[in-house]
Structure 1
Amino acid sequence: MERNIQVFLEHAQHNPTIGRAVKSFHIILRVRLEKVAPLRDCLLRLCNVADLQLILPSLKPFRWGQLLHGVRFHQLDLLSINVLHTVVAEFLEYHPGIAFLSVDACGVIRGPCPLDGRKLPALCDVSAPTRCVMRLVLNNPISRVAALQFSKADLAPIRTLVASLLTSTANLTVLQLEVSPTDY
């Protein structure tokens, strides 16, 4: 994997239009990433990416911070990422034009999700844990919600989510609640 990134970087260094031409970039890596620097260099060359998926389950939060610090995409529209929401929140500060957002586990057990209060005026589609979706729905023009990763312990957030959806958004066209059949 890292060798493929290195080959891409070598080509992009000789021909900068290669990096500018990439519109969709997906990295799903189930093995440990030894070095983040090559992937970071790659991301820095992809300034016109509109669709970004980064699924790196073995990457530690501080390494995510190293990977994404200072990375800017001028046309980013879709973000699917599996990093803690503290890192996502910082990244979103520089990408307010996101329309489609898919995030995994929050990482905050007690207290508010770092995405609480985040205003993303173009956000219309969100997939996230139930308690994290609630505040995003209140502050953004969302029309499609997928509330994920919840169990019996999350029944109160589900009720609150549904109640807030009924009162806060006239745009909602799809609501998807994922429940594990083993929870009941």
Structure 2
Amino acid sequence: MRPDWPRFGRVTLKPMAEGLSEEEWRGLYDTFRDPEVAEWNGASPLRTPFWLFKRFVLAENRRKDRLAFVILDEEGAYVGTLELYNLTPEEATLGILLKRERWGQGYGTEAVRAALAYAFGPLGLKRVRLRTFAHNLRARRAFLKAGFREVGESPGPRGQRDVHMEVRREDFSPQA
């Protein structure tokens, strides 16, 4: 793990642009195929073959409006994925997926903290936003703990309510 990669607590965010190990590719693929992870992400489990999935991810990584990372734990093992997308010079939207086996262990909160410090530091963004399901209380608590605040609700695509959250650079404390 390189010292310039974003980190907080036990996690390191490895830029996908640096290339992924076979273990990281498999972890990423399995995360997107997990039905429970997909359900909490408002999606269907991935059914694409591995080779095509890799091609899609590599193509997405070339986009100028997103930065994607794999989340590594203190041992360097794959925990999940995080991205900043809809990236502009002022703001981005945050998305995160964790392996189900790592839920409730604090890795998500730490990964979000690392991403926010990077977004407000080297990237110089002014705001980071996200949207999550209102009924996903575990995720909402983690985002609040990481520094987000709830700014509104809207109807979601599957009849559930979505909660809109954001954090602004002036309200973020990298040490908290």
TM-score, structure 1 length as denominator? 0.30
Which of these two proteins has the greater Rg computed from alpha carbons?
A: 1
TM-score, structure 2 length as denominator? 0.31
Name the structure, 1 or 2, with higher relative contact order (CA <8 Å, separation 6+).
Answer: 2
Q: Which has the higher strand share?
A: 2
